[in-house]
Structure 1
Amino acid sequence: MQILQPAEWKKPRGFSHGVVAEGPGRWVILAGQTGGDEAGNYAPDMAAQVGTALKRIIKLLGEAGAGPEHIVRLTWYLTSRSEYEAAGAGIGAAWKETLGRNFPPSTLLYIGGLVDERAKVEIEVTAFVPGA
C-alpha cells in the first residue's frame, strides 16, 4: 500500500491522510468493536477499553488471514473528549502493543453515547489484503 503524504504537508501524528491499495486482493470490513471483553464486561477507563477493542480487532483480522499492517481505515466513536485526551499514554501503549508502527487513515468522532452505556469507544476497521 502507498501512503498518501504530500511533501508540503506536515506529517500527521498517529494516522495517515490516505492510502492507495491496488491490485488483486481481499477487502476485510469489520463492524465497530467496543471495549467489552468476551464476557461482556467493560473496564471503567478509556485506555483499557481502547486496548480491548484493538485486541478484538486483531483477533478478527487474524480470522481473515490479515494483520494490523493490512488496515487501510479506522473510524473511532468516542463518548468523551476529556477522557480520551487524559488517556493518551495508555491508548498509545495499547496501540503499540496491537498495531505497532502502523498508522492508517483514521477519523475520530465524539458522540453522545453508544448502544451499551458502559462502552466509551467503538472502532470500525477496513482492511485490504493483497493477493499472493
Structure 2
Amino acid sequence: MSDCPHEFLNPSGWKAAKGYANGMVAEGRFVMLGGLIGWNADQEFETDDFVDQVKQALLNIRAVLDEAGAKPEHLVRLTWYITDKREYLANLREMGAVYREVLGKHFPAMAMVQVVALMEDRAKVEIEATAVIPNG
C-alpha cells in the first residue's frame, strides 16, 4: 500500500464505479459506526426533509469519526438504508452537494438499500460506516 490510508479496488476491464468505490483495502485501526440517523445530538429531529436528514446523518458520522481521531477520508464503507428510493433519486443533485460539503470528495465502498421503515418513525435515512485509521 502507498502513503494513502487505503487502496481503491476496481477490477481490470470494469468501468469506473459511479459515486462510490467497488472495493477498498486498508490497514490500521478499525472504527465501526452503528446506524446513524438524521437527528441531532439530543436525539431530536429538526426536519422531515430527506436531504436535510441525510446532511444531519453525515454530520453525525463526522462527529463520531472526530471522537475516534478519524477523518472522512478514513471511511472505507458506508451502508445506506433509505425508506423511499424515489425520494432519493429525486434529490441526487442536492444529496451529492451535501455529501461533498460534509465528507468531501472521498467515496468509499457503498451500498444503498430501500427498507420498509427504520426504528425511529421520522427517520428517512440511516447510515452505517466503517473507517480505518492508518497505522503510524
Q: TM-score range by the shorter chain?
A: over 0.9
CA distance in 1, matches of 2:133, 2:41: 26
CA distance in 2, matches of 1:112, 1:17: 26
Deviations 1:96-119 (A, max 9, x none): 111111010001000000011100
**Secondary structure, in 3 states, of the residue corresponding to 1:75?**
strand
4+ runs deviating over 6 angstroms: none
How far is 1:6 from its partner? 1.8
Which residue matches 1:71?
75
In the alignment, structure 1 segments of 5+ residues that lack a partner are none
CA contact (8 A) 1:42 1:119 kept: no
Q: Residues 101-116 of structure 1 correspond to what in structure 2 (within 5 A)?
A: 101-116=105-120
Deviations 1:38-74 (A, max 9, x none): 2311412111110000000001100000011000100
**Secondary structure, in 3 states, of the residue corresponding to 1:37?**
coil
**Secondary structure, in 3 states, of the residue corresponding to 1:53?**
helix
CA contact (8 A) 1:28 1:126 kept: yes
In the alignment, structure 2 segments of 5+ residues that lack a partner are 1-5
RMSD in angstroms over aligned alpha carbons? Answer: 1.0
1:29 aligns with 2:32: yes
CA distance in 2, matches of 1:118, 1:53: 13
CA distance in 1, matches of 2:46, 2:116: 18
1:97 aligns with 2:101: yes
Percentage identity across aligned positions?
44
1:118 aligns with 2:122: yes
TM-score scaled to structure 1, two decimals?
Answer: 0.94
Matched AA of 1:4: L
**Secondary structure, in 3 states, of the residue corresponding to 1:9?**
coil
Number of residue pairs aligned between Structure 1 and Structure 2: 130
CA contact (8 A) 1:76 1:124 kept: yes
Which residue matches 2:132?
128
**Secondary structure, in 3 states, of the residue corresponding to 1:7?**
coil
